[in-house]
């Protein structure tokens, strides 16, 4: 039976379902692609064209127009990736006969070096005064986990109590595409987690008079005994950084960057760091080698007697 061609809006919805369910892309990526594709759909509509009538010239003109509006190379690359993926999908589904993006290249994104917190500053802040309230116990344990395991904020807030193994010293988390990985956790973090779970988490959960099933297992709870939000974690980190004299405006991914960079600084191999971070491609992890080399160069220039002019 010949497939009935769906409406143009439905084509986008079908593609989004495909990349979400079958390819396992994150909700955030799918949301961005949806916005980008509908933007292109409206662009074509204004020119009395449809998605199925689009050609390479239309796509390139759209990308160029977005560039002239001042959009970043990162945004242009995402537009290109969304459109290219969409038409590749239509070709596989026999909805179109030729792929207008077949000879398109996705613009290269200039990689910015990730911001990291100096190792001494982090260690001093984490080794400061002992937490003495419910929320401070939670915060200290949470920050140790972020820095000690390199988790993404989405992975952190999704952790359940049953994802911890105190005996074996690891955390089980689910990363992008719902891929599960096992990450080791240090003794400092384990000690703080035990303290938090025993002395604080139970008290926080009591505050939630009607806890959902997920709340009962969620590891890090907010002051109302419910699952922490991404925004909540950002706010906690910002306040913690200011209290502990960290000059940088600290955020969750900065701790992830610091985790990877400090591992490489101390001799960890790139492949191991890739596994710990849950990167599908090692090229994503390689950016940290640039940060580590930069750090080594700074140490050399400060410490070696022949690194400066006029050295003895």
Convert the pLDDT of each residue in 93-130 to its tens digit.
889 999 999 887 766 655 566 788 888 888 888 887 67
Residues 163 and 67 in one domain: no
How far is Cα of residue 160 from the mean position of the Cα atoms in its chain?
19
Convert the pLDDT of each residue in 43-66 to its tens digit.
999 999 999 999 999 999 999 999
| 3-class secondary-structure state, position 5 | coil
Mean pLDDT, the chain, integer:
84
Residues 180 and 67 in one domain: no
Q: Where residue 85 falls among pLDDT bands split at 50, 70, 90? A: very high
**In which domain, by residue range, is 192 found?**
119-302
First to last CA, the chain: 85
Burial (CB < 10 A; 0-12, 13-18, 19+), residue 173, is: buried
Question: Which tokens go with 51?
Answer: 């998605």
Residues 163 and 54 in one domain: no
Residues 88 and 164 in one domain: no
Answer for the pair 131, 140: CB distance below 8 angstroms, yes or no. Answer: yes
The domain spanning residue 28 has which CATH number?
1.10.150.130
HEC letters along 254-301: HHHHHHHHHHHHCCCCHHHHHHHHCCCCHHHHCHHHHHHHHHHHHHHH
Q: What is the pLDDT of residue 4?
A: 45
Kindly give, in sequence order, each residue whose CB lies less than 8 Å from that of residue 106, ignoring residues fewer than 6 positions away: 77, 80, 81, 84
Domain count, the chain: 2
Answer for the pair 276, 150: CB distance below 8 angstroms, yes or no. Answer: yes
DSSP 193-252: HHHHIIIIIHHHHHT-SS--HHHHHBSSB-TTSSBPPHHHHHHHHHHHHHHTT--S---H
Answer for the pair 175, 155: CB distance below 8 angstroms, yes or no. Answer: yes
Q: Provide the annotated active-site residues.
A: 152, 176, 253, 256, 279, 288
Give the mean model confidence (pLDDT) for residues 290-300.
Answer: 60
b/e burial code for range 67-79 (CB count within 10 A of at least 16 → b): eeeeeeeebbbbb
User: Nearest-CA neighbor of 268 among 290, 292, 298, 301?
Assistant: 292
254 in a domain, yes or no?
yes
Sign for the CA dihedral angle at 79, 100, 109, 156 comes to: positive
Residues 290 and 183 in one domain: yes
Residues 153 and 227 in one domain: yes
Residues 124 and 271 in one domain: yes
What is the model's pTM? 0.62
173 in a domain, yes or no?
yes
Residues 157 and 261 in one domain: yes
101 in a domain, yes or no?
no
97 in a domain, yes or no?
no
Sign for the CA dihedral angle at 68, 70, 72, 76 comes to: negative
Among 75, 92, 109, the domain boundary falls at 92
Q: What is the pLDDT of residue 285?
A: 76
What distance in Å separates the CA atoms of residue 50 and residue 55, rounded to the nearest whole number? 10
| 3-class secondary-structure state, position 3 | coil
Q: Where residue 155 falls among pLDDT bands split at 50, 70, 90? A: very high
Residues 59 and 147 in one domain: no
Residues 141 and 266 in one domain: yes
What distance in Å separates the CA atoms of residue 24 and residue 12, rounded to the nearest whole number? 16
105 in a domain, yes or no?
no
135 in a domain, yes or no?
yes
The domain spanning residue 234 has which CATH number?
1.10.443.10
Q: Which residues pair with 115 in a beta bridge?
A: none
Question: Which tokens go with 172?
Answer: 């089980």
């Amino acid at each position: 039976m010949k497939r009935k061609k769906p409406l143009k809006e439905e084509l986008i919805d079908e593609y989004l379902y495909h990349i979400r369910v079958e390819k396992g892309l994150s909700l955030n990526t799918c949301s961005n692609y949806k916005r980008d594709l509908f933007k292109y759909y409206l662009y074509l509509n204004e020119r009395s064209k449809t998605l199925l009538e689009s050609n390479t010239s239309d796509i390139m003109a759209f990308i160029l127009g977005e560039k002239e509006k001042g959009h970043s190379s990162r945004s242009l690359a995402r537009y290109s990736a969304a459109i290219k993926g969409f038409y590749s999908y239509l070709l596989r589904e026999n909805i179109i006969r030729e792929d207008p993006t077949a000879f398109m290249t996705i613009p290269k994104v200039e990689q910015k070096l990730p911001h990291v917190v100096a190792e001494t500053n982090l260690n001093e802040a984490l080794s400061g005064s002992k937490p003495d309230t419910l929320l401070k116990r939670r915060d200290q344990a949470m920050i140790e986990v972020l820095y000690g395991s390199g988790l993404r904020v989405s992975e952190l807030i999704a952790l359940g109590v049953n994802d911890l193994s105190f005996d074996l010293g690891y955390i089980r988390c689910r990363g992008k595409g719902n891929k599960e990985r096992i990450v080791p956790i240090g003794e400092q973090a384990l000690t703080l987690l035990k303290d938090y779970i025993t002395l604080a988490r139970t008290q926080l959960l009591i505050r939630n008079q009607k806890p959902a099933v997920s709340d009962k297992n969620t590891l890090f709870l907010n002051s109302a005994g419910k699952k922490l939000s991404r925004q909540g974690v950002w706010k906690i980190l910002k306040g913690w950084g200011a209290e502990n004299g960290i000059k940088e405006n600290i955020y969750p991914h900065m701790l992830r960057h610091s985790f990877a960079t400090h591992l490489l600084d101390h001799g960890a191999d790139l492949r191991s760091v890739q596994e710990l971070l849950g990167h599908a491609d090692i090229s994503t992890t390689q950016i940290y080698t640039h940060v580590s080399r930069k750090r080594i160069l700074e140490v050399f220039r400060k410490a070696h007697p022949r690194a400066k002019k006029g050295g003895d």
